[in-house]
Amino acid sequence: MGGRWDERDVPSLEGKVALVTGANSGLGLETSRMLARHGARILLACRNPNKAAVAEEQVGAVAVSGAEVVQLDLASLASVADCAQRVRDRETKLDLLLNNAGLMAIDRAKTEDGFEMQFGVNHLGHFAFTALLAPLLLATPGSRVITVSSMGHRMGVLDLDDLFFEKRRYDRWRPYFQSKLANLLFTAEFNRRLRAANAATSALGAHPGATNTDLGHEGSGLTNAVLRPFAGFGQAAWTGALPIVRAATDPGAEGGQYYGPQWMLQGHPRLETPSHRARNADDARRLWARSEQLTGVTFDVAAP
């Protein structure tokens, strides 16, 4: 492979099954298209049925092995459990799980289960979903779990005593940064446990840099208003998806690695080093235990 990794470096994915959360738009849609073009059968895990139907048609138009929608609302642990059960019932393998869906800088809100919305969707929903799909992943040799973080994780501070900003002031950005830091702490601890269990599954992280998506435009705050006029100035979603696709498909990628754009904001994907806080092993272990407690899901990574 050359120094500038791009979609031409994606190997054949024929026979592989990939599930992408938040696949109806932005990074999730472009990631799904790339994987589909190279032969993977795509499960589009989406919350909005109407948007999901459009995405299914778009991905299906380029898919070699087909694409189908699975209903998933990461703001509801009941929906997470139902979706995971349906996938386990229907599939005999799962080669790639891409934890892509996310919220950024939204107004204060709570999930169905009472969690702060950004932490609940970006981290806890994906934590529970991955845990419930673990038996299928662990039974698939060479499977990978890619969790999408953000360069904003570098500003994140994890407060295990106030994960939902009930004591701290809620300012929409700090909860987002904390959730993206949690994504990488989860990835690190997940990969550590996989290695300890000698499992043939790997956990990796990725981030898209500054990419033109609709993230960050939903809230009513001043910073949300400032972001809207700059929509279109970031790199295209298909370029932002490249680090995610590289983490998922590069034969040389290894568990625990983190991929992002060459110049952090944009560019071809390269290996990156997470922040010091994202490499805190004690925080990663404690977050894992707290996540099991909050979701009520026991995450067993023992190989079958």
Catalytic residue list contains 258: no
Question: DSSP per residue over the chain, as a string?
Answer: --SS--GGGPPP-TT-EEEEETTTSHHHHHHHHHHHHTT-EEEEEES-HHHHHHHHHHHHTT-SS-EEEEE--TT-HHHHHHHHHHHHHH-S---EEEE-----SPPS-B-TTS-BHHHIIIIIIHHHHHHHHHHHHHTSTTEEEEEE--GGGGG----TT-TTSSSSPP-SHHHHHHHHHHHHHHHHHHHHHHHHTT-SEEEEEE---SB-SSTT-SS-SHHHHHHGGGTTSSB-HHHHTHHHHHHHH-TT--TT-EEEETTSSSSSEEEEPPPTGGG-HHHHHHHHHHHHHHHT--------
Q: Mind telling me the catalytic residues?
A: 176
